[in-house]
Structure 1
């Protein structure tokens, strides 16, 4: 079995940790939310919902990486804005055979991880049909689990990519490996762009956004702009009609609340710059107008400036 260290054990990272520990791996979790860490130490980590109901004792859980050993697999599961600090804290965890996997929403995170930990050991992961939330410290609700996709960022050998992916498969995750990392990232990215900002601003679930004409018109506008940017960049989206593909995926997790909404409800900054804001940035670079994403991004930023505190983090 593998030694796994998960840096960024919020809702999603906690799901990964619980299922991997339950499968027999040695899992160490790192989380900046002290109450979550204390609750897990006291009573174990409970994950319930789509993947069943289990309470597991991790090998360790702490608020930092001090004292942790070199790992077989390091999963950086923080928010996009925290990846540089997370990667820096993981330097001593990476050995010559360690596989590093970055799993973030949006664009730009793999580049920032590679700048700190190097390109040679890095895989990029995206999750689809997922959803999770922390209703209270030590407990995570798991809404769905469609697929984890991985690709080498640049130079990770195929055998090592497969070795890292095998840990996930052993824990019950469905895994697909890609050769084209840009295609893999953008096929998930268009889903994030569609629902993230719209849900943050309206408070609606994915299913409610698709049901309400006014909300869906904004969400669809975000999606269509992202698809246009992908086309301008020469990125293949092998999903058929992209908007229908997004609706089909959304229909599988209608009750899910995207992480940007959960961040807003907790009064902590979200990932708008890596998601809707990234469409605007890429659109400017490639001459593609993105007025819907520009408006959504600015409204989310305006909302975030009203927060009096930053809540808890992963």
Structure 2
């Protein structure tokens, strides 16, 4: 088999997404370097490999793991592509690190959530920056050296990874990177990265903060009537903001944006359609899948909600629009991060208040 890229594949950020991709690529025969700041994780991978525990089975891959302090070694590598897989609040320093040590010919792919491409491009250069969106991965770290995926491969029914150039044209390098990611799950090239980014942002804002505050699994968030109802309201607020910003979504979770807005406004038929769409998301998952926000809160770490619901709330306020549900979730998450709010289903009352 001919591999789609020649050279090392570097991932800066060894959290759940970075570890899943690193493990999948290494299993497919790629030479992978994973750089992370969690010492126990790096030591575990060095000692026993990187284990990916998925519904299809458990595999351990040979991945080269580096500590952040070893990033200078990148300057001497033949790097085919580098993926940025750090938390959103770490984007600026991580992009600067790559700009310092990565060979100048290596493209940098933002395999993150939210709208970060411009920030990365300012550090590493616009010409070498691409965006990649990973949807429906449903992954979390089970411990040092072990990443667990709750979603089944192929369950999305389409491309899980979408790779796009910032200028929107289809290029050979975007095709090579999409082919590379197909070793992990279905991948494709997009010529509309920004709309895809907005759709993913909307989806994230509907579930991750809600899961974090309530302490519920993603399956529960998707299938409980109360949490699904909040998700519908979050969708409508995000869609309205997106329209004001010029984003024209064709679908969100498989149904037209208008349906989400009608459902939030009280249309019974639209609400049934929206709840069915959310239930279908749960059908491809196995029990135990936690949102990234819930994982972070349980570990006492900062969350990315400021870049999700907080971003929606801030942009809505700037434009004179209303996004009260997003603002409420962002505010409550800030309380939870500081230990002033205990997470659990009781927080639904405060979200809806």
Q: Same fold (TM over 0.5)?
A: yes
State the Cα distance separating 1:277 from its structure 2 match.
0.6
Residue of structure 2 equivalent to 1:282: 315
3-state SS, counterpart of residue 194 of structure 2: helix
Distance 1:250 1:186, change over 3 A: farther
Would the alpha carbon gap of residues 121 and 175 (structure 1) be closer, same or farther in structure 2, given more than 3 Å must change? same
Which structure has the higher relative contact order (CA within 8 Å, separation 6+)?
1
Between the aligned partners of 1:235 and 1:32, the Cα distance in structure 2 is 36
Question: Do the aligned partners of residues 259 and 282 (structure 1) sit closer, same or farther apart at CA in structure 2, a change above 3 Å counting?
Answer: same
Q: 1:229 aligns with which of 227, 238, 241?
A: 241
Pick the aligned partner of 1:249 from 281, 287, 295.
281
Given the alignment, which residue of 161, 167, 172 partners 1:159? Answer: 172
Structure 1 residues without counterparts, runs of 5 or longer: 308-314
Asked if the contact 2:20–2:147 (Cα under 8 Å) also holds between the matched residues in 1, the reply is yes
SS in 1 for 2:110: strand
> Is the CA contact (8 Å cut-off) linking 1:6 and 1:75 kept in structure 2?
yes
Alpha-carbon distance, 1:126 to partner: 1.1
Change (3 A) 1:181 1:155: closer
Q: Do the aligned partners of 1:124 and 1:153 also contact (CA within 8 Å) in 2? A: yes
* Aligned residue among 84, 87, 97 for 2:92: 84
CA drift at 1:215: 2.1
Contact 2:83 2:109 in 1 (8 A): yes
Q: 2:193 aligns with which of 181, 197, 219?
A: 181
Query: Structure 2, unaligned stretches of length 5 or more?
Result: 1-5, 261-273, 341-353
Distance in 2 between the 1:51 and 1:101 partners?
27
Contact 2:163 2:177 in 1 (8 A): no
- Of stretches 213-222 and 258-267 in structure 1, the one that deviates more from structure 2 is 213-222
Q: Do structure 1's residue 71 and structure 2's residue 103 form an aligned pair?
A: no
1:195 to partner: Cα distance = 0.2
Tell me, in whole angstroms, the C-alpha distance in 1 between the residues paired with 2:188 and 2:279: 21
Shift of 1:51: 4.8
Deviation at 1:285? 3.0
CA contact (8 A) 1:106 1:278 kept: no
Q: How big is the shift at 1:67?
A: 1.0
Per the TM alignment, residue 212 of structure 1 is displaced from its structure 2 partner at its CA by 2.5
Which of 315, 330, 336 lines up with 1:303 in the alignment? 336
Q: How much has 1:93 moved relative to structure 2?
A: 4.7
The within-5 A match list for 1:91-102 is 91-102=99-110
Contact 1:130 1:253 in 2 (8 A): no
**Which residue does the alignment assign to 2:214?**
202
238 and 41 in structure 1: CA distance in 2 versus 1, 3 angstrom threshold? same
**Partners in 1 of 2:96 and 2:15 — Cα distance?**
18
Residue range with higher mean Cα deviation, 152-161 or 46-55: 152-161
The whole-number CA distance in structure 1 between the counterparts of 2:286 and 2:314 is 29
Shift of 1:42: 0.9
Once the two structures are TM-superposed, the CA of residue 241 in structure 1 deviates from its matched residue by: 2.5
Could you tell me which residue of structure 2 aligns to residue 310 of structure 1?
A: none
**Structure 2 residue 56 is matched with structure 1 residue 23:** no
Give, in angstroms, the shift of residue 111 of structure 1.
1.7
Aligned residues: 305
TM-score by length of 2: 0.81
2:40 matched residue in structure 1? 35
Alignment TM-score, normalising by the size of structure 1: 0.91
Q: Which moved more, 1:41-50 or 1:236-245?
A: 236-245
Matches of 1:93 and 1:210 in 2, distance apart? 42
Confirm or deny: 8 A CA contact 1:208 1:254 kept in the other structure.
Answer: no
1:2–1:167 Cα contact (<8 Å) kept: no
